[in-house]
Chains A and B, each alone.
Chain A
Amino acid sequence: MNRPVRTPDIPSNSLDSSNPGPAVVVDDIAVELSGKTILEEVSFSAGPRALVGVLGPNGAGKSTLLNAIAGLLPLKTGKILVEGKPVTGARGQVAYVPQQERVNWRFPATTWDVVMMGRARKIGWHKRATQTDKDAVRLCLERVEMWNMHSSLVSELSGGQRQRVFVARALAQEANVLLLDEAFSGVDVASQEGLIAVLKGLRDGGRTILIATHDVGTLSARFDMAVCLNRHVCGWGPPEDVTPRLIEELYSSHSSLHKEKDGANERAA
């Protein structure tokens, strides 16, 4: 029996915020939605400065995991730390690029409007944007090479352009951890590469970026690390270790994965 993916230990000192530990620590979480267990025994740690693919078939709980990291869902068990602090969902610790279907495209927002939304919390309730905020919006749009379209309606942009705008919004929020839900769906291959290049630049700037995707085909060159998810973590580590065999496992039945994982646990113990 060979174990394709290593399962490193979570550093025990990750609660100490003076220590530059992992940007995201997910420690044995379980999530239930309306009585149904969506995730259980999910553990991994990532970053800082990493581009992480969260891979798994549809219904594997990828979005649920990202929502949990964003602090939107109550955890049944376990804990999640972002930059050493428990997530609460109220602090804007992480920035989020939503699935395209979850955005209200009937609303006529321009590229500029969308990125300015990322400043909402910084600006504060019932205050108006200052020159600093406007400069930040421009900078973030230049960073993703979308400044020339700042007055276009986002609903009229292509899939890849939209994703760049949302990444710019995440940057404007000044969070170090970015979550992208199905960032590559509806984005043509050339634009995917452009988007990856932008994200790599952000990673090199010190950010930790988690991208959920069901498209595992061409992943290895893209990510620094892969988390394979199918209700539980089937494995995580460098993408080279995500062999065709594991991918096959990931997309096959749930019970066989349990066996694989139980075996792994025995060896770990």
Chain B
Amino acid sequence: MSALLEPFQFTFMVRALIVSLAVGVVAPVMGAYVVSRGLALMGDALSHAVLPGIVVAVLLGLTPALGTIPVAIIMALLIGYLSRRTGFSEDTTIGILFVGLFALGLALLSISTSLPVRLDDILLGQVLGVNWSDVLVTICLSLVALTILYIFHKELVFVTFDPVGAKVAGIRTGIFDNLLLGVLALVIVVALQAVGIILVLAMLIVPAATARLLVRRFVPSMFTGAALGMITAVAGLYISFYLNLPSGPAMTLVAVALFVIAVAFRGRLFIRR
């Protein structure tokens, strides 16, 4: 018991716990859409593309989220524009913007030698290093993301399942597609702090996919995903604390382990597919 409570005599662990729980809830809830819409590449690309935003924000002494949100939104809009303009498929334009912006971020990072952050922490996540303003931003962004998903649930579900039918029924599908990308951007910004750029995808899709193996319906899979996400985040946090690992790999390993267990045991629970 003391091994479980001991870490929390340090306030940095309390802050890390709050951020981890927020990520654990919000990423898999958004992840339910990512999994059923095939947005994994988009999520991965967005998380990498925000690097220049982080660097600029830190240079200006701002909280990183303020730099990442505009870059993520610009990126999401540019993908649609470039695909229409060039005729390339979306994954190609996503890939080009992904590497272009990520490279720009890396270049900015190596030019600005006096930067008070470590590249490792940005790439791999260091939830043990968050400060109170990061905690506040995380809570606010998580609440915004969850509120949007709750308010527009019925429209987002319709547009995801049957875009043409939704359009005919009088739903402005373009607005909701962009809204969902906007929420994805917010969630990525939140998740970045815990798992870092490279492993955002882990929190976004792994608990959500695991949940879908266990639960058949969409909304229950969101709740199951959130529960799995919290378990993942907290377990990863302990591993990170005791084994002195970056939090990103620690949480990712837990998430993937849960997925593997779900795959192994699922055959006994359902006789589907």
Contacts and interface: CB of A to CB of B under 8 A. Distances in A.
Contacts of A113: 157, 161, 217-218
A117 B216 contact: no
Given A104-B163, A106-B37, A107-B37, 20 more contacts: A71-B168, A72-B167, A92-B170, A94-B168, A96-B168, A102-B163, A104-B160, A107-B36, A107-B157, A107-B161, A108-B212, A108-B221, A110-B217, A113-B157, A114-B161, A120-B166, A121-B169, A123-B154, A125-B152, A173-B169
B6 interface: no
A70 B166 CA distance: 11
B171 A109 contact: no
Contacts of A96: 164-165, 168-169
A120 B165 contact: no
Q: 4 nearest interchain CB pairs?
A: A92-B170, A96-B168, A126-B151, A107-B36
Contacts of A153: 216-217
Interface of A: 67, 70-72, 89-92, 94-98, 102-104, 106-110, 113-114, 116-118, 120-121, 123, 125-126, 129, 153, 156, 166, 169, 173, 179
Contact of B170 (A97, A107, A121): A121
Interface residues of B, number: 29
Contact of A90 (B151, B163, B166, B170): B170
Contacts of B171: 120-121
Contact of A102 (B36, B37, B164): B164
B131 to A, nearest CB: 35
Contact of B162 (A71, A92, A117): A117
A103 B152 contact: no
A89 B167 contact: yes
B38 interface: yes
Contacts of B259: none
Contact of A104 (B36, B155, B167, B170): B36
Nearest to A151: B217
B168 A107 contact: no
A166 B160 CA distance: 15
A95 B164 CA distance: 11
B168 A108 contact: no
B160 A107 contact: yes
Nearest to A66: B168
Interface of B: 35-38, 151-152, 154-155, 157-158, 160-172, 212, 216-218, 221, 272
B168 A104 contact: no
A21 to B, nearest CB: 22
A114 B169 CA distance: 13
Nearest to B154: A120
A72 B157 contact: no
6 contacts: A96-B169, A98-B164, A108-B221, A117-B162, A118-B169, A120-B155
B21 to A, nearest CB: 26
Contacts of B165: 96-98, 103, 117, 166, 169
B170 A91 contact: yes
Contacts of B212: 108
Nearest to A129: B154
B162 A104 contact: yes
B218 A107 contact: yes
A104 B180 CA distance: 16
B218 A98 contact: no
Nearest to A102: B164
A80 to B, nearest CB: 13
B168 A70 contact: yes
Contacts of B167: 70, 72, 89
Contacts of A118: 169
B151 A108 contact: no
A103 B161 contact: yes
A123 B165 CA distance: 16
Query: Which of B35, B152, B162 has the most CB atoms of chain A within a 10 A radius of its CB?
Result: B162
A110 B161 CA distance: 11
Contacts of B35: 106
B247 to A, nearest CB: 30
Contacts of B168: 70-72, 89, 92, 94-96, 179
Given A117-B169, A118-B169, A121-B171, A104 B164 contact: no
Query: Which of B37, B151, B152, B161 has the most CB atoms of chain A within a 10 A radius of its CB?
Result: B161
A169 B158 CA distance: 11
B89 to A, nearest CB: 16
A117 B158 contact: yes
A102 B173 CA distance: 14
A169 B167 CA distance: 14
Contact of B161 (A89, A97, A104, A125): A104
Nearest to A70: B168
Nearest to B218: A108
A95 B171 CA distance: 12
